[in-house]
Amino acid sequence: MSQRVMNVGLIGYKFMGKAHSQAWSTVGKFFDLDLDPVMKVVCGRDAEAVSQFASRWGWESHETDWRKVIGRGDVDVVDISTPGNTHCEIAVAAAQAGKHVYCEKPLTFTVDEGKQMLAAVRQAGVKHMVNFNYRLCPAVSLAKQIIESGGIGEVRHARFTYLQDWLVDPAFPMNWRLRKEVAGSGAHGDLGAHSIDLARFLVGEIGEVVGMKKTFITERPAEGVSSGLSATAGEGTEKVTVDDCSLFLAKFTDGAVGTFEATRLAPGRKNFNRFEINGSKGSLAWCFEELNSLEYFSTSDPAAQQGFRKIIATEGVHPFAGNWWPPGHMLGYDHGFAHAAYNLTQSIANNRPCVPDFHDGVQCVAVLEAVDRSEEARQWTSVEVVD
């Protein structure tokens, strides 16, 4: 353990707030860090609830106004785990106050806002990271290594599907994730953002897209109380203002072609975040529902032995995996968040860039936005290249 500390201020304490809290409390136990993260303060609007959260999850103090967190001299990193409509304002203010900024996905709703966020962190010279936790699963990092070392040759096809079913019941009530002004979009930004990040990480930049979105369930029972992905109904009904699903075709700038599908209406699919990538010499496939395994087919294998092999990416040689349990003692959802906390801590401690950063966040928003424009124009649309 290092003697130098890094004080974290977390804004938001619901589903993502828990995932981030878990990461901050675990990372220093399993990874050697050059700064010790201290869970200094957590912020939420409900004083009673956030105070209970702070004591349960090990935060030293709590606040009810995010501006107070940013104004505190004892906070080094502002960790934004609130809905997307708040990201831009908080991140810009945090950067201007000289804090390093860690932000949930999607970074924000528009490229314009994303550029403001990027300009603010660059101008302040602070470290910045967007949370794309799936690229930090050991099996996904391994896929990247295999692609980079030429293990599947030239990439031709890339297929990304992100399917969930928690909204399939029309009786499921409204919550913030179904309101455009709070969430920005539905499955498109919530799930599609993850797929776009995986695509950019594994295959490369997306140059052009054409796509569509659809809302099947346009009205739902009004919100009573909601928490995480569950909710109880209140009185009356409310209009849903986001998409249930989004689908698009993509042309990567290096010549590969891709398909993307995101939905929260796929019965039986819980968190089915899957990709399959086919190259000139092999294929790779991964799905979060079996997150520890990577399927790999190589045309270099002896003809009689060719077939997909399943690599359980929990050996010490696999990225991040050696820091946890012995081989085969599986990792889960929370480990990706701990890997993000590790990356950010080490980047701050050693003054080196952190990946994925706000630029990755804005470029992802540029793809989401291009799909929206393509739908309006009913034609192939170029993705803005963000500097």
Where does this chain bind ligand SOE (CB under 6 A)? Answer: 164, 190-191, 229, 271
Residue found by looking up tokens 């940013």 in the block: 70
The full length of the chain comes to 387
Residue closest to 99 by CA, chosen among 124, 65, 64: 124
- Rounded to the nearest whole angstrom, what is the least distance from the CB of residue 320 to ligand SOE in the complex? 18
Q: Taking the complex as a whole, how short is the minimal distance between the CB of residue 235 and ligand SOE, in angstroms?
A: 25
Quick check: 252 and 206 in contact, CB under 8 A?
yes
Residues in contact with 89: Cβ distance below 8 Å, sequence separation at least 6, in sequence order: none
Q: Which is nearer to ligand SOE, 175 or 347 (CB)?
A: 175
Q: Taking a C-beta distance cutoff of 8 angstroms, is the pair 324, 335 a contact? A: yes
Cβ closest to ligand SOE, residue 92 vs residue 191 = 191
Is the CB of 15 or the CB of 30 nearer to ligand SOE?
A: 15
Judge whether 292 and 273 are in contact, CB under 8 Å. Answer: no
Beta pairing partners, 55:
none
Q: Which one, 195 or 314, has the nearer CB to ligand SOE?
A: 195
- Least Cα distance to 70 among 6, 9, 7 occurs for 9
What are the two backbone dihedrals, phi and then psi, of residue 241, each rounded to the nearest 5 degrees? Answer: -115, 15
In the complex, the smallest distance separating the C-beta of residue 330 from ligand SOE, rounded to whole angstroms, is 18
Nearer to ligand SOE, 38 or 136 (CB): 136
Helix (H, G, I), strand (E, B) or coil at 199: helix
Q: 271 or 346: whose CB is closer to ligand SOE?
A: 271
Task: Tell me whether residue 84 or residue 279 sits nearer to ligand SOE (CB atom).
Answer: 84
Distance CA(79)–CA(100), nearest Å, equals: 8
Task: For the CB of residue 11, give the shortest distance to ligand SOE in the complex, in Å.
Answer: 16
* Residue 228 neighbours by CB distance under 10 Å: 11
d(CA 121, CA 52): 32
